[in-house]
Structures are given as structure tokens and as C-alpha cells.
Homo-oligomer: A and B are copies of this chain.
Amino acid sequence: MTATTYRQIVLAARPTGEPTSANFELRQVPLPEPGEGQLLLRTIWLSLDPYMRGRMNAAKSYAPPVEVGAVMAGGTITEVMKSNNPKFKPGDILAGWIGWQEYAIADGRGMRKVDPAVAPISTGVGVLGMPGMTAYVGMRNIGKPKAGETVVVAAASGAVGSLVGQIAKIEGCRAVGIAGGPEKCRHVVEDLGFDACVDHRSPTFAADLQAACPQGIDVYFENVGGAVWAAVLPLLNPFARVPVCGLIANYNDAAPPAGPDMSAVMMRAILTNRLTLRGFIVSDFQDQQKEFLEMVGGWLREGRVKYREDVVEGLEKAPEALIGLLKGRNFGKLLVRVGQDP
């Protein structure tokens, strides 16, 4: 039961500053047949993530930009509908990267089979997918939390931040989250088990953060930048580690913010406190995927790791949802339900 046409969302124009709906275009295209060695995939879940804003720019980054007129990139959970590839059979569920579209032809390379018996398949783009692995490899390779230390993470109710803090707790650390608004902060402490969560919208945010970190900060998992980073910097302890994973506060910037130039202050803090700042991309640690799935999969089964999803219904809602994500409007891992479960 396959359609003869399907929908996809392409990048219509590059945004300047905040993206708008005019930057996206919904297209209806004919459904192709898979060729030799190929699969026809039907999208069930599309993951929306902050990095997508970067792909909308023409600027050089760690991944090539999405071309204007091309399908928006994105992680997906798909079902194999037809297979001309002996490695896959109809009904297989695959985590992969087919982007913002209801169907796609693919050869299966870079795709990972998801076992629905282990966890809901949506976790394949969440806590057991790229966001979860980002948290895991950033903490394991750069954050290196030691028992008794204080770990701070922003976007603490989000897909990455929520796991960062839960890993910190598993490692015996004090976990302090930063989130937008009392409802998210309550969730971070009561449901996810962080020791504290500070609302970055509060006028007393910097003082609140300091109060929540009486022993200073040993690991700051950086995924927002901007005012949060400015508040964290003076609290970092000697030899603190800062995995730099994302900078959502700056993704819509068309030019550097106004002065004063705080880069000199930052360099001075790096020097005098012997900080380590290290940027990373999850794919730099691809060889740790198996370990990640075993470790976090195990914690998930044991109930030591929890996650929350924020589900948007229908591919056509993806642009609005991504625009909202960049403003912190989502609450939990943001997913678009593109098609029904098998």
C-alpha cells in the first residue's frame, strides 16, 4: 500500500537571522521505484535538531550546507517498504539520514537497524540516536566527569542536555541544569533527577546559577553559548573541561554581537584556570557507537535514564517546529511524526 506521490520539504531560500516559513517549500513529487541494490523507505519519524540551522547557511562548517532547492537534511526512522538489497527486508526499521520527506530511495549505507523490542523506535533518533550519542561521547572523551564534581548543562530538558545530566548523576556528580521556564526546570529536577535547575529567563539567572554551584563548575557541556556561557565562565574551577557541542544562542546571528570584546576575558580564564575547551561533532567518535548503544541502552532498560519527547504531527509542521526549537519552544526531544508506526 504505497502512494504514487509523496511530500518533501526543500530549502527555498537561505535565511538571514531567524528562519521563517518562506525559507521552506513543501513539494509533491512522484514516488520512484528502487533500483538494483536499493531500498524504498517510508519515513515514520523525523528528528528536528539545532544543527539544522547551520546547514541552512552557505558558510563553511563541519558539514556541507543544504543547497537551495534540495531536501532539508535530517535524521529519520524509516520502514523498508521494498528492498532490492539482501541486507534489508520489507518491515525493517532503519535509523538514518533521509531528511525532510515522506519517502526516499536509499542504498542502506550509513543506516542502522532499530529493534522495536529494545525501546520505542523513536529513540533511534533520540536518546539512542545522534543526540544521545552526542551527550555520551562528549562526556566520555572531553567532559570526563569525576565523582563529586559539578556538571552543568544548558537546554537541560532537551535531547542532549537531559542525557548529559543523567550521565553526570550516574558518575556520582552534582548535576545542575539550565532550562527556560519553571515547567522545564521542574521536569529536569523531579523527573530526570538533576540536583538543581536554573531558569535562564530569570533576571537573577547568573546569581541563581552561582548559588546552584556552591563548589564551582568542573564540567560545562556547552550547547547554547551567549549569555549562558558568559554566566558560566566566571564559575569554572581550575582544570574545568568544556565540551563545545553546540551554540544555539548564536545560530541566528548575522554578525558578531556588540562589544565589549569578551574574547580576551575568555582567553584569560582559559589561561589562569587552565581550562580545556574542545569542540566536537558526534561523528568524530563514530567508533564508539557500539559502546554507546550498550551503555545507554542498558541504563534505559534499568530505568536509570529517562527521556521526554515533544511530538509534532505531520511533515508540513516541520518548518514551524524548527523555528520554535531555535527559540527554545520545544519541551523534550523534538520529533515530527511523518508517518504511522508499522
Binding site for B on A (CB under 8 A): 60-62, 222, 225-226, 229, 238, 244-247, 250, 253, 255-281, 284
User: Do B264 and A274 touch across chains, with their CB atoms under 8 A apart?
Assistant: no
Inter-chain contacts of A238 with B (CB < 8 A): 62
User: Do B273 and A265 touch across chains, with their CB atoms under 8 A apart?
Assistant: no
Q: List 17 A-B contacts (CB under 8 A).
A: A62-B274, A222-B267, A226-B264, A247-B267, A253-B264, A258-B261, A259-B260, A261-B261, A262-B263, A263-B266, A270-B277, A270-B279, A271-B279, A274-B279, A276-B278, A276-B279, A277-B278
A279's partner among B261, B275, B281, B284 (CB-CB below 8 A) is: B275
Q: Within the complex, what minimum Cβ distance (angstroms) separates A287 from chain B?
A: 15
Q: Within the complex, what minimum Cβ distance (angstroms) separates A251 from chain B?
A: 9
Copies in the complex: 2
A276's partner among B261, B271, B276, B281 (CB-CB below 8 A) is: B276
Inter-chain contacts of A267 with B (CB < 8 A): 222, 225, 229, 244, 247, 250
The docked-state distance in angstroms from the alpha carbon of A245 to that of B267 is 10
User: Do B264 and A244 touch across chains, with their CB atoms under 8 A apart?
Assistant: no
Inter-chain contacts of A262 with B (CB < 8 A): 256, 261-263
The docked-state distance in angstroms from the alpha carbon of A278 to that of B242 is 10
User: Do A256 and B261 touch across chains, with their CB atoms under 8 A apart?
Assistant: yes
The docked-state distance in angstroms from the alpha carbon of A255 to that of B263 is 12
The docked-state distance in angstroms from the alpha carbon of A61 to that of B274 is 10
Also in contact, A255 and B260, with CB within 8 A (given A267-B222, A267-B225): yes
Q: Within the complex, what minimum Cβ distance (angstroms) separates A274 from chain B?
A: 4
A256-B259, A261-B262, A276-B276 known; 10 new pairs, CB 8 Å cut-off, are A222-B267, A247-B267, A257-B260, A263-B263, A266-B266, A270-B278, A274-B279, A276-B279, A277-B277, A277-B278
Inter-chain contacts of A246 with B (CB < 8 A): 271
User: Do A244 and B270 touch across chains, with their CB atoms under 8 A apart?
Assistant: yes
Inter-chain contacts of A279 with B (CB < 8 A): 269-276
The docked-state distance in angstroms from the alpha carbon of A225 to that of B264 is 7
The docked-state distance in angstroms from the alpha carbon of A17 to that of B142 is 36
Inter-chain contacts of A244 with B (CB < 8 A): 267, 270-271
User: Do A261 and B259 touch across chains, with their CB atoms under 8 A apart?
Assistant: yes
The docked-state distance in angstroms from the alpha carbon of A222 to that of B259 is 23
Inter-chain contacts of A280 with B (CB < 8 A): 274
User: Do A261 and B264 touch across chains, with their CB atoms under 8 A apart?
Assistant: no
